[in-house]
Homo-oligomer: A and B are copies of this chain.
Amino acid sequence: MSLIQQLTKLYSLDAASIPQLTQTYGKLSLFDWIVCGTGGREEPVSRKVRDYICRQYADGSCSVFGGNPATAVAASLANGTISHALDYDDTHFAHIGHLSVGVYPAAMAVAEKTDATITELVDAFVIGAEAAINVGMVLGPQHYERGFHQTATAGAFGATVAASRLYELSPGQLHAALGLCSTRASGLKNQFGTMGKPLNAGYAASNGVECAELAALGVTSADDGLDGLQGFIETHSNNPARSNDNDKFLFDDICFKLHACCHGTHAMIEAILDARRNHRFTADKVTSLEVCIHPKWLRVCDIKSPVTGLEAKFSYAWLAGMTIKGLSTADPDSYSNKVCTNEALIDFAEKVTVVGANIPDTAAEIKINLKDGVELNAEHDLSNRIDLDTLGKRLRNKAKAVIGDNSDELWEKIQHRGSESVREVGLFE
């Protein structure tokens, strides 16, 4: 089955055929996405992009984090950017990227515009997210390693599918929308560490909405623009994988961020927390800490001497010190510029070495040597799923750290009011 056939099949799936577990993860992702967007709405990039976008576009009916309602394209561009500003949203490792920030802003804006229910919103999201995963997997790790950012590239196709589903496009219109997306989608990893990174999520979302809206108006495009001759896949990957016809939703492997820093560092943080649970020690007792991770992360999150709070989020050396010293890695406020001039953390960073190893990119192995001669070893793999109850609790704790007690009401709305209109329930309030 070709990729375009696979996406068309997904697109046409009955709501009843979407597994319950997938919907449950879709709801958790919705909760977490709104928490990230609400928490990030006053970040510098959020203010700049929101003000710019809202001045650009005509009035609309779609909610914007921290702003007035806007058109669907504008709201999705702003919300994609804002919700990725803290870099605290979910990751899908097979997709290689962030799903909620590229796909939910598109689905949410169109759901509000078409007066869909929360359940319809979640269904459109999980189908769009699954499409993005499939596109991301066909593009493959080489796409990412070459310098492309699947969050933006594959994410735009997911956003197109989600928006198209809520607009109820015909299969022919869906193909035109995907064809337009093939010439519109873009996004590079070279933006990491700049405001361009959250913008990439906004581009994914708004490109999806725009392509769906143009296709609905009868704008034509290459019907096989995604995986046809010289299509997006062929032009953007040297070694694309075959699409596989999975019946299982790969979306269920979604991995939520429980620390407000680069996802590539989380397995290390969890491993350190595990080590500390088994053996209490303090930072000054550590003589060395060796971190083994997949080599791809060496170019992503191994900044040796961060000078901004943002850079600290991409620094194994800093995050190891913060974790051992008990600073909350879950609280975005922990990542101030000041953390980079903290003497104790500067000293600790000298004890940390990071090496690439032949292990999954979701895993970390650590070795801690203490002054008393003890050697502690620990490992953690993020792909080991957390049970749903624990996950829900940790996400609600994270939400409290990020947006405070309002998060309880948001949780209740998403869990219990699925059959009601997104617009009437008011998820952004």
Q: Does A149 contact B (CB under 8 A)?
A: yes
Chain A interface size band reads: 35 or more
Distance in angstroms from A365 CB to nearest chain B CB is 28
Q: Give chain B nearest CB distance to A237 CB in angstroms.
A: 11
Q: Note all chain B residues with C-beta closer than 8 A to A74.
A: 56
Q: How far is the CA of A180 from the CA of B222 in the complex (A)?
A: 27
| A370 located at the interface, meaning its Cβ lies under 8 Å from any Cβ of chain B in the complex | no
A54 vs B179: C-alpha distance when bound (angstroms): 23
- Binary per-residue interface labels of chain A (349-374) against chain B in the complex, 1 for a CB within 8 Å, 0 otherwise: 00000000000000000000000000
Interface string of A270-301 (1 = CB under 8 A from B): 00000000000000000000000000000000
Q: Say whether A12 faces chain B, with CB atoms less than 8 Å apart.
A: no
Residues on B with beta carbons closer than 8 Å to the beta carbon of A220: 194-196
Within 8 A of B (CB), among A217-261: 217-222, 224-225, 228-232, 234-235
* A231-B56 CB under 8 A given contacts A219-B195, A220-B194: no
The answer to whether the Cβ of A150 comes within 8 Å of any Cβ in the partner chain is no
Enumerate chain B residues within 8 angstroms of A234, measured Cβ to Cβ: 146-147
User: Which residues of chain B are near A55, meaning CB under 8 Å?
Assistant: 58
Residue among B58, B179, B231 making CB contact with A57, cutoff 8 Å: B58
**Does residue A189 face the partner (Cβ distance < 8 Å to B)?**
yes
Complex contact B186–A199 (CB within 8 A): no
Complex contacts, A133 vs chain B, CB 8 Å: none
Q: In the assembled complex, how far is the CB of residue A358 from the closest CB belonging to chain B, in whole angstroms? A: 23
Asked if B191 contacts A219 (CB within 8 A), the reply is no
In the bound complex, CA of A196 to CA of B194 (Å): 31
Chain A residues within 8 Å of B, Cβ to Cβ: 45, 48-49, 51-52, 55-59, 71, 73-74, 146-149, 152, 179-180, 182-191, 194-196, 199-200, 203, 213-214, 217-222, 224-225, 228-232, 234-235
Can you give 13 A-B contacts (C-beta < 8 A)? A48-B214, A51-B217, A57-B58, A146-B235, A183-B190, A183-B199, A183-B200, A184-B186, A188-B225, A190-B225, A190-B229, A194-B220, A196-B225
Closest 8 interchain pairs by CB? A147-B230, A186-B186, A147-B235, A196-B221, A190-B222, A183-B188, A194-B220, A195-B220
